[in-house]
Amino acid sequence: MVVFRGKTYVGQYGLSVPPYVSMSVHGTRVELKSADAPTDVSLDFSRGPPDKILINGMEAAFFR
């Protein structure tokens, strides 16, 4: 997942596939959904990208 602030590249998360993850943006929140995950992941970007996220039981670190 690549993150931009306006037209400026901020960084990214390396999400492993498969299983594939769908993503939607709602203001400062990003929702991640996977058919194999028991729950959806909701990320709060109001203070910037989280350092690490957990999706499908795997940790993904934010990097540049």
Question: For the segment 3-61, what is each residue's pLDDT rounded down to a tens digit?
Answer: 998 999 999 998 766 667 888 999 999 998 887 777 888 999 999 999 999 887 788 89
- How far is it, in rounded angstroms, from Cα 35 to Cα 33? 7
Tally of structural domains, the chain: 1
CA dist., res. 21 & res. 37, Å (int): 9
- pTM (2 d.p.): 0.75
Give the domain range for residue 58.
2-63
